[in-house]
């Protein structure tokens, strides 16, 4: 066979020829910017030429600090075409982490949305490697204290719209994302061209997410998070319409876009989907969601009650996926296979509550503390280990590599059981388990049960220090609109008490206005643990 | 990313874990042998152990001379797992070609179906490299003059059902097929592990063939032809049920299998689909084809009338694919994309009459004699050139490599036009064009028009020598059952005369009982050209 490398620029080359008229729709306030793959291709070429003009070459890191917009999408293709590395910076990081990752990555250029400029302006003196800032706007009157700042549209207007991709090997880096760490600074993951291409070829398969030419794809996952779950690349591979939700999207924006653009596939974390359902309930508005073939939820486990609510209230299939920054990121997808057709409705629902089967192309193990394999019986829990062509083999320039990548396996730190059919049921992160009297209590199991209460919007269970038992569980609960001020501790505990051994039951329930979230929308239990570390448990 | 090679044995490893109970159904006369992917995995392991016991090692060629059966399928997985090369030998080759390719490949072992043993017995003394023949049967009383012959089931019963695949690089060979040549002996194409895996990842995508776990796949394409179009491998990748049609399948067998096994996807050459329709018409039997989501026709162009007949008479979607041995083999697939929704019914039908769009992952050019690109306007014709990770870069040990693989492009020898949407319309092979007075006449265009006549079953147009014009077209026509003896030359020519310039019109029409076919079921125009080389054309 030909020695033909798998490279990111091939996606757009195909889309520009076979789907030149398909649209990229990018929300701008209440209206939208629309153009085609043909336009995207030309503008990505212009961006490559412009970056080359600023001295960016093979191997250089191109940072982006931006929302989901068409200009950000242009960078997704422009940097890899040059053999440069697209570093998507999480805009919600603490300033110390921002400085750390930009310096650690050695970003040469940063493309930044105008409304985010105030975040980086005060940090600029600490950014050692950045030679240019490019403001993602056509507003020539925009001013900033950022040094060596350029107007994006000015740069693009000055160069040719033709560009020949730089020759690179398929194992060379195309992207870079940082993931938050349990302790210490974020850790960087390098995405190779090969990894991204194979991941996209997988995600377009029928039994995984099944991206297709006829899709209108709305990623709610930010483009600065875990490669945007590969959505920009897989969409281009198949020539799907892309809808980008712009600056500061909220549930209303998402509902409007699904309705008006006839979105068929949308992807985001559970928090988003809880928010969307809540918005529809509060606003009483009647959005048309009939175009959706499915919505994808990933990043953390979803309660079955949410899946049921989407089906019942909106007739929408909510499908769970599982993955992580280290895996480009898709590991598993919950496409129901033929073996489940004969299951009872209850068992099917249990199945929908899992994170699905590992996608083709990877290998997986479930192991105990001593690295022994644990049976896939749907019951016993262990840590998930993965191997495959789109799984990282290291953290970028980071000694923590050796804690996580061992003997050729990526140790995910996720505790799970696996059903005999191979369906993954994620429990807690190792660090989120509550250790009581030498035994483990799963915070996720308790949360999932509590969220099933009709008066509960969200719940987080944390372990707080306890003199006798070492840790005991505390439930932090957000009541929904109708139940605020009415729901009490006894309601919550009564609702779940038949499902757990008595020593699993939370010692107390506190009602709070909202669950603090991390920069990528997951529940931030670190904050809760800190807040309640001296909480007196009722006995 | 991890340095993780793409290897054929990974397909079966996943299927044995995630789809262990899915079935492989292998026709045996009027009944069927049934077992599961779990069984297949164990027996493929046994075969690897047995072959190793016979001295087969990394790089050795394992020949198969067999129908579509479960034992043949076991070889598809056993040989690549050992780092050996599966050489599927076309059972319909002339004896001289058989001797040539077996010696040229250097097959160390040949697995052979009992009913095909008489073909190889007289040739055995000429086969220089073959050390063992393995008879694919459980009949211990079967006798043969083949030297060093073993009983397949005996061999398997003596060894373990566990086997650890040999470590190989992804670019190492896994398969070998020979393709017929215009002149001279067949040419060999080596399939790498990487090429096969990438081809399967492509074929499982929604917009290509879309293999899925819920499919029941019946390849009618023989397992000795062009890697069986990758069906055994892609089916295992997704865990689809496989139906194998056994010894000497005929249209009735195919109809029965589709009906009884509830086949969802079946793949074969146009001749097969013409035969199936003809059988249904003649027999008057009422088969249930409602399980079929689509049937795939490839190998040569299909007349629109056949697509219409399948839709009208059976409510079955016949989809065209295009490919060749040198391409593992899929190049294009006719999945209708969203851009065509607004087309008229007539234009949609024209589209269905093409071979579809190039699948993602390849590159393609349309060029004239001097290697200049020709516009994709749906009108101008040129030769198709391809490049990509599952396209061969050479013929195996063959000086003819340099005629076909030039400057990194595979020159297909197929003449085609490409529509502005990128849809390929195959015309003739270069050698099948009729050269009249220095101008080219397309035999395929004439055939397609003639087959549209309701009284015609098949048609082949060939160029025969002509003193003044060099060549002139002769139409060889097979009338269908109802029209035999009634159809005449004038009927045929009148039917097509409005569609062609007068100098394109065949000078004569001959009625024959059947069109001679090549070993892979394509029309064999060489035979017709020889038969009619002295035919006297009507004025």
Q: Is the pLDDT of residue A428 over 90?
A: no
For A44, A172, A299, A401, the CA distances from A196, given in Å and listed in that order, are: 18, 11, 19, 21
Q: C-alpha distances in angstroms, B337 versus A149, B207, B301, B343? A: 43, 8, 20, 11
Which tokens hold the place of B43? 């027996």
Rounded-to-integer distance, Cα B479 and Cα B450, Å: 11
Q: Which two tokens stand for residue A320?
A: 């769970």
Among B143, B173, B190, identify where a domain stops.
Answer: B190
Burial label for A501, CB within 10 Å (0-12, 13-18, 19+), is exposed
Q: In this structure, what token pair is assigned to residue A113?
A: 């949305």
Q: Give the Å distances, CA to CA, from B461 to A372, B130, B427, B439, B487.
A: 68, 41, 12, 16, 17
Residue position matching structure tokens 């060489």: B526
d(CA B421, CA A352): 39
- Among the listed residues B311, B387, B435, B489, the single catalytic one is B435
Q: Both tokens of residue B40? A: 């297949």
pLDDT digit string, tens, across residues A446-486:
998 899 899 999 999 999 988 888 889 999 999 988 888 89
DSSP B353: T
The pLDDT tens digits of the residues spanning B94-142 come to 899 999 999 999 999 999 999 999 999 999 999 999 999 999 999 999 9
CA A514, CA A290: separation in Å to the nearest integer?
30
> At CA B416, angle to CA B413 and CA B418, rounded to 5?
135
Contact yes or no for A237/A47 (Cβ under 8 A) = no
A194 touches chain B (CB under 8 A): yes
Cβ B213–A335 below 8 Å, yes or no? Answer: yes
Q: Are A203 and A230 in contact, with CB atoms under 8 Å apart?
A: yes
Q: Output the pLDDT for position B182.
A: 61
A19-23, A75-79, B448-452: least confident range: B448-452
The answer to whether the CB atoms of A337 and B19 lie below 8 A apart is: yes
Q: DSSP string spanning B250-298?
A: -HHHHHHHHHHHT-SEEEE-HHHHHHHHHHHHHH------TT-SEEEE-
Residue A333, both tokens: 């997808």
Residue of A185 and A246 predicted with greater confidence: A246
Place of tokens 């215009």: B182
Q: Pick the residue with more confidence: A180 or A511?
A: A511
Phi, psi at A308, each rounded to 5° = -65, -40
Residues of B in contact with A294 (CB under 8 A): none
Omega within 30 of 0 (cis) for the link into B16: no
Six token digits for residue B100: 């040539």
Active site residue A409: no
Q: Residue B520 belongs to a domain with what CATH number?
A: 3.30.300.30
Q: Are A64 and A116 in contact (CB under 8 A)?
A: no
CB distance from B198 to chain A under 8 Å? yes
Q: What angle do CA A208, A212, A215 make, to 5 degrees?
A: 110
Q: State mean pLDDT over B310-319.
A: 96
Q: What is the pLDDT of residues B459-479, one digit of tens each?
A: 999 999 888 888 899 999 999
ipTM of the complex: 0.89
Cα B220 off chain centre by: 9
Which pLDDT belongs to residue B431?
A: 73
B338, B360, B388 ranked by CB distance to A4: nearest = B388
Rounded mean pLDDT, A151-159: 98
Mean pLDDT within A437-449: 83
Q: Which of B190, B217, B238 is the last residue of a domain?
A: B190
CATH number at residue B167: 3.40.50.12780
Q: Which residue of A has its CA nearest to B361?
A: A10
Residue A439: inside a domain, yes or no?
yes
pLDDT band at residue A184 using 50, 70 and 90 as cut-offs: confident
Is the model's pLDDT at B433 over the cut of 90?
no
Q: At what angle do helices A231-238 and A70-81 cross, to 10 degrees?
A: 80
- B452 in contact with A at a CB cutoff of 8 Å? no
Using CA atoms of A31, A37, A38, A44 in order, give the dihedral in degrees to the nearest 10. Answer: 90
Range of the domain at A47: 9-190
Last residue of a domain, one of A190, A213, A233: A190
Query: Per the domain annotation, does A151 fall within a domain?
Result: yes
Question: Quick check: is A517 in a domain?
Answer: yes
Q: Which residues, in sequence order, are bridge partners of residue B333?
A: B321, B357
Residue A383 forms part of a structural domain: no
Sole residue written with tokens 């000015």: A154
Closest CA of chain B from A79, distance in Å: 19
A259 and A283 Cβ atoms separated by less than 8 Å: no
Cα–Cα distances in Å, from A110 out to A75, A105, A124, A151, A305? 10, 11, 11, 12, 42
Q: What integer is the mean pLDDT of B229-250?
A: 98
Q: Cβ B213–A337 below 8 Å, yes or no? A: yes
Residues A295 and A279: their CA atoms lie apart, in Å, by 17
Residues of chain A with Cβ-Cβ distance to B364 below 8 Å are none
Instruction: Compute the average pLDDT of residues B249-272.
Output: 96
Residue numbers in A near B210 (CB within 8 A): 206
| pLDDT surpassing 70 at residue A538 | no
> Model confidence over A251-302: pLDDT tens digits?
999 999 999 999 999 999 988 999 999 999 999 999 999 999 999 999 877 8
CA distance A99 to chain B (A): 25
pLDDT tens-digit profile of B318-340? Answer: 999 999 999 999 999 999 999 89
What does the alpha-carbon distance between residue A72 and residue A88 come to, in Å, rounded to a whole number? Answer: 9
Render B99-131 in DSSP notation, one character per residue: HHHHHHHTEEEEEE-GGGHHHHGGGGGG-SS--
Q: Residue holding tokens 């022994």?
A: A372
Exposure of A198 by Cβ count < 10 A (0-12 exposed, 13-18 middle, 19+ buried)? buried
Domain total of chain B: 2
Q: Do B206 and A205 touch (CB under 8 A)?
A: yes
Query: Tokens 């409007």 sit at which residue?
Result: A256
Buried b (16+ CB within 10 A) or exposed e, B152-181: bbebbeebeeebebbebebebbbbbbbbbe
Chain B touched by A387 (CB under 8 Å): yes
Residue A179 lies in a domain: yes
Residue A470 half-sphere exposure toward CB, CA atoms < 13 A: 9
Provide the percentage of residues in chain A whose pLDDT is more than 70: 98
Residue-wise DSSP of A208-251: TT---TT-EEEE-S-TTSGGGGGHHHHHHHHT-EEEE-BSS--H
Average confidence (pLDDT) over B411-428: 91
Residue A499 — pLDDT band, cuts 50, 70, 90?
Answer: confident
pTM above 0.80, yes or no: yes
3-state helix/strand/coil string of B458-514: EEEEEEEEECCCEEEEEEEEEECHHHCCCCCHHHHHHHHHHHCCHHHCCCEEEECCC
């Amino acid at each position: 066979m030909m020695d033909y490398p798998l490279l990111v620029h091939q996606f757009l080359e195909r889309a520009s020829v076979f789907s030149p008229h398909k649209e990229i729709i990018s929300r701008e306030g209440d209206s939208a910017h629309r153009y085609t793959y043909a336009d995207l291709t030309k503008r990505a070429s212009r961006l490559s030429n412009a970056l080359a003009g600023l001295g960016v070459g093979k191997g250089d890191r191109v940072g982006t600090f931006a929302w989901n917009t068409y200009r950000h999408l242009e960078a997704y293709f422009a940097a890899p075409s040059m053999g440069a590395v697209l570093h998507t910076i999480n805009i919600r990081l603490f300033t110390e982490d921002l400085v750390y990752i930009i310096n650690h990555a050695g970003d040469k250029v940063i493309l930044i949305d105008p409304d985010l400029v105030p975040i980086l302006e005060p940090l600029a003196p600490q950014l050692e490697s950045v030679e240019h800032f490019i403001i993602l706007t056509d507003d020539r009157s925009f001013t900033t204290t950022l040094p060596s700042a350029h107007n994006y549209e000015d740069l693009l207007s000055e160069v040719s719209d033709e560009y020949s991709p730089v020759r690179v090997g398929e194992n060379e880096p195309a992207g870079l994302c940082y993931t938050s760490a349990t302790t210490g600074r974020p850790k960087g993951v390098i995405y190779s061209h090969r990894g991204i291409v194979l991941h996209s070829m997988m995600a377009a398969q029928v039994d995984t997410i099944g991206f297709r030419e006829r899709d209108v794809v709305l990623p709610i996952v930010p483009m600065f998070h875990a490669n945007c779950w590969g959505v920009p690349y897989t969409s281009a591979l198949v020539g799907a319409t892309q809808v980008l939700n712009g600056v500061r999207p909220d549930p209303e924006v998402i509902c409007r876009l699904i309705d008006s653009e006839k979105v068929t596939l949308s992807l985001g974390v559970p928090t988003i989907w809880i928010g969307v359902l809540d918005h529809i309930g509060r606003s009483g508005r009647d959005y048309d969601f009939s175009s959706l073939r499915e919505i994808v939820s990933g990043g953390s486990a979803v309660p079955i009650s949410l899946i049921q609510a989407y089906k019942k209230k909106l007739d929408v299939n909510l499908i769970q996926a599982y993955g992580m920054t280290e895996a480009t990121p898709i590991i598993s997808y919950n496409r129901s296979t033929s073996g489940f057709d004969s299951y009872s409705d209850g068992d099917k629902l249990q199945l929908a509550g899992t994170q699905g089967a590992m996608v083709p192309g990877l290998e997986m193990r479930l192991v105990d503390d001593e690295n022994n394999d644990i049976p896939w019986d749907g019951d016993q829990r262990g840590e998930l280990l993965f191997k495959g062509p789109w799984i990282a083999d290291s953290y970028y320039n980071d000694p923590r590599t050796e804690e996580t990548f061992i003997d050729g396996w990526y140790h995910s730190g996720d505790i799970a059981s696996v059903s005999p059919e191979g369906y993954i049921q994620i429990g807690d992160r190792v660090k989120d388990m509550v250790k009581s009297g030498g035994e483990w209590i799963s915070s996720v199991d308790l949360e999932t049960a509590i969220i099933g209460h009709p008066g509960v919007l969200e719940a987080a269970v944390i372990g707080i220090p306890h003199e006798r038992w070492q840790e005991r569980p505390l439930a932090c609960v957000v009541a929904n609109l109708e139940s605020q001020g009415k729901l009490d501790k006894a309601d919550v505990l009564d609702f779940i008490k038949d499902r757990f051994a008595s020593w699993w039951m939370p010692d107390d329930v506190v009602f709070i206005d909202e669950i603090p979230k991390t920069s990528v929308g997951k529940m931030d239990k670190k904050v809760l643990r800190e807040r309640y570390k001296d909480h007196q448990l009722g006995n």
